[in-house]
Amino acid sequence: MFGFKTTSRDDQPGTVQLTRRQLLKTGGMIMVSAAATGPLAILAGTGPLLHPPTPAQGPFPVPAGTLVDSFIAISADGDVIGFNGHVDLGTGVRTAIGQLVADEIETDIARVRIILGHTTRTPDLGPTIASDTIQNTSTPMRQAARQVRQLLINLASERWSVPAAQLRTENGFVIGAGKRLSYGELAAGQDLHIDLDQHMPLRSSKEHKYIGQSVPRVDIPNKVLGALTYVHDVRLPGMLHGRVVRPPYTGADHTAPLGDSLISVDHDSIKHLPGIVKVVVQGDFVGIVAEREEQAIAAMHQLKVQWKEWAG
């Protein structure tokens, strides 16, 4: 039994179950893997998304390996899904990666969906910093997209008994010999797990349709409409809130007693406040855990903490 999650455009999952046989009946899939351990994620029909097959051992369900297991998936309706372990911090990398994938696989950018930084669908690619997402971690996605395109051409070549060299791709279709098939139609019933060809040649800059062009950023509409879910909007059952009480060494240099600055914490100073769960003290770290955010904030301001004096 494979576990699936239905996902909407804003990656809000709901759980369903789907067997391998049901998956193939639904439409099948094509993906490129960095290792022959199965797909990281795959769309079937218009929504279900396969969980990573073998999460790495440890406290967090990060997919096994240091590189992404699957970079590209094709849904039964021809949508292209790309996976990247980085996140979009407002720099528009979701849109930029979509441009890269759309150009390499040769489909309309409106048919490309990028999933970023999901702990059970994308690998840990390290911190999102500077321009690393585009310079480095987007490269295997581009190679995978190009490789999947070639696989689709080969499938059409076999089906039509036409040399692959006589076929071309355009806007999500393989075309040639007076025929055309969509990526979704070619992917139907397929179950292909192949290693990523890291030497796969990419399209030349002269062939780019989206790379280097200004396209509408996919994150802007929800930001303008106030519909985007930020981390501050997340609410979970039994969720607690925290605040850190910091040493009063604003602008401190190396002479400040950091690391050995805490003298005492008066736990009783906030006993009268509602919702306080715990005061956490570890070395110089002092934190407040409370049932509500405003309770943690109030406790942060009222907790009496004594620090070593600093002449700086």
Residues 75-125: tens digit of each pLDDT: 888 899 888 888 998 899 999 999 999 999 999 999 999 989 887 777 677
**C-alpha pair distances (Å), 108 with each of 77, 103, 280:** 13, 8, 52
Tell me what pLDDT residue 250 has.
Answer: 77
- Amino acid identity, residue 101? V
Q: Which residues of the chain have pLDDT under 70?
A: 1-70, 123, 190-193, 312
Question: What is the DSSP code string of 221-276?
Answer: HHHHHT----GGG---TT--EEEEE--S-TT--TTS-TTS-EEEEEGGGGTTSTTE
Residue from 24, 14, 17 nearest 3 by CA: 17
Tell me what pLDDT residue 195 has.
Answer: 78
CATH code: domain 2-225 is 3.30.365.10
Tell me what pLDDT residue 85 has.
Answer: 85
Tell me what pLDDT residue 62 has.
Answer: 55
pTM over 0.75: no
Length of the chain: 312
Residues in Cβ contact with 158 at an 8 Å cutoff, skipping those fewer than 6 apart? none
- Any idea what the Cα angle at residue 53 is, between residues 51 and 58, rounded to 5°? 95
Tell me what pLDDT residue 32 has.
Answer: 53
